[in-house]
Structure 1
């Protein structure tokens, strides 16, 4: 009897030790330290989607997340270095205006994973890049805009003429032309990622020129459209609740698939320099066309049918929206 008790106890201790040796590394990877460095405020539409996805991952208990907003370009390297030195295993951010310094920090911390918004290529071994490949829903909003314009004049206001912006504008224009081949376009870049007053003024000028639908790549455009009684097409976020009589449709960016992929690879120890942009495409649920909401009964039935058919074709892989990174011209 004593022999059996001791044997059982020894077996139990051995099993416990084995479980501990197997479970401890896994438990250690249940939550990783993640940081993000942003040169614009959290409310800026592009950054807001990244911030939202990482906050959600933190709420699920997958990561410990900290972030800094409104970082001056001159301070970006310092902030990112501080996060890396503090032991954050994964760092997100947008490196468009700070490309050189972001890549320099990544070189100095080869064991830290970096996932940065960038027009450049991944940098081995640890600097991955991404952008919002949401040209598919942008094209669908173009179909809607083409069906809603009465004047045939459409204005587009963008931040900077970089590939990430150009491809969305070009996709939108292609959608408009499919429905309204005679449409005319006015295009302005405000050379800022967050300057609503400047975007608003650019939009006013377009409305004065006869535009009755505006592509709001930047915040501020929908305000101008609302004040002048014309329509707007949203980008990245759905602001129809703020502009129920103005914003007809929006191409929505969902950063969750990109964030989830990067987090999973860091936890698995398989992270390497890759291009994460494709995770923003509709087939990965990285983007979508927002519901028409208040415009459900205002968009012509034939346009809604065309949009639904095209969306089904995109998801089935039988229709491809061209990726055109060239600067769009009026």
Structure 2
């Protein structure tokens, strides 16, 4: 038995030397992520969830840092790259120049970063939350549900990633209700629930009976005042069963899984992964109506389902508008 075991070990070692690709395929991919906000923040939670799923499947070794200050971002990126991580993910919007500089200094490491910019050869790929399609559908629902024809919208910052979803939502609401008016406010923070809540209260005081919850805190205000809300990126209806009507969900699994696959195959390059957030690739979807299934008017449900089918069939394209949305309420 000892001799046989020795032969097997010797053969395995010989194969690893002669076929390094085989040894690499057997080893777990080392993946790291850097987040400027807590893991539970909407945007980041979707990336974290997809990576944790890959970790649970045994595909990757995963390490992550949350609440990293912009000033520390470059240092943390370099630490992860130096530590032998083969794939590094994060959101580089506020640290674009520094992140791209790190990628240049580590050409053998693959970087996939949330970014409004273009890919940077050879190893800096980008992704974005192109979930304007389900955002349009949630707008259609909101337009059909409002009684006051006034909708309040609270966002983090007026950047393309937020603007395009708000515009899509507004266009959807206008389709089912041309009379609807919008009040738009940005709280200039990615994670400040109390501030978002106060902004939502102000909108409710002005007559808004539905709130677009681009940030945490908005649904709390709606719940306290007996109003309704539309979710974004994640589905929070389980926490607000009488408040959140519907949500535009972002699924990062198609993006993350493709990146892991290409790194493992040695084929990763500076691509734009943005399209994998669209409904066609299952990167986004309209959340089930759940507790509101019987509360949304049947004619609105029919219109939404027809529009969803047209989007998936390529018959209808939701316009991407990255400019800052403006209030239309008088």
TM class by shorter chain equals over 0.9
Q: Are 1:163 and 2:174 matched, yes or no?
A: no
CA-CA distance at 1:29 after TM superposition? 2.6
1-side partners of 2:293 and 2:69: how far apart? Answer: 42
Paired residue for 1:205? 202
Q: Where does the alignment leave 5 or more consecutive residues of structure 1 unmatched?
A: 1-11
Matches of 2:295 and 2:23 in 1, distance apart?
53
Per-residue CA deviation, residues 40-89 of structure 1 (Å, 9 max, x unaligned), is 00010100000000000011111110000000111111111000000101
Partner Cα separation in structure 1 for residue 19 and residue 236 of structure 2 = 45
Q: C-alpha displacement at 1:21, in angstroms?
A: 6.9
Offset at 1:259?
A: 0.2
Question: In structure 2, how many angstroms separate the alpha carbons of the residues matched to 1:137 and 1:22?
Answer: 50
- Aligned mates of 2:66, 2:15 — CA distance in 1: 42
1:1-330, aligned counterparts within 5 Å? Answer: 25-30=21-26, 31-330=28-327
Tell me which stretches of 4 or more aligned residues in structure 1 moved more than 3 Å. 15-24
Displacement of 1:23: 6.5
Q: Distance in 2 between matches of 1:134 and 1:224?
A: 25
Tell me the distance in 2 between the aligned counterparts of 1:60 and 1:291: 26
Deviation at 1:20, TM superposition (A): 6.1
Q: How far does the alpha carbon of each residue in 1:211-231 deviate from its partner, in whole angstroms, 9 at most, with x for none?
A: 000000000000000000000
Q: Distance in 2 between matches of 1:200 and 1:124?
A: 42
Once the two structures are superposed, residues 255-294 of structure 1 have per-residue CA deviations (whole angstroms, 9 ceiling, x without a partner) of: 0000011111111111111111110000100001000000
SS at match of 2:261: helix
Q: CA deviation at 1:26?
A: 3.0
Q: Deviations over 1:69-115 (max 9, x none)?
A: 00011111111100000010100000111111111111110111110
SS of the residue corresponding to residue 94 of structure 2 reads coil
Q: Secondary structure at the match of 2:189?
A: coil
TM-score (norm 1): 0.93
Structure with larger Rg: 1
TM-score for the superposition, normalised by structure 2? 0.93
1:171 & 1:55 partners in 2: Cα distance?
A: 30
Number of residues of Structure 1 aligned to a counterpart in Structure 2: 319
The answer on whether the counterparts of 2:16 and 2:23 sit within 8 Å (CA) in structure 1 is no
Deviation string 1:104-132 (CA, Å, 9 cap, x unpaired) is 11111011111011111111111111111
Q: RMSD over aligned Cα, in angstroms?
A: 1.8
**How far has the Cα of 1:22 moved from its partner?**
7.7
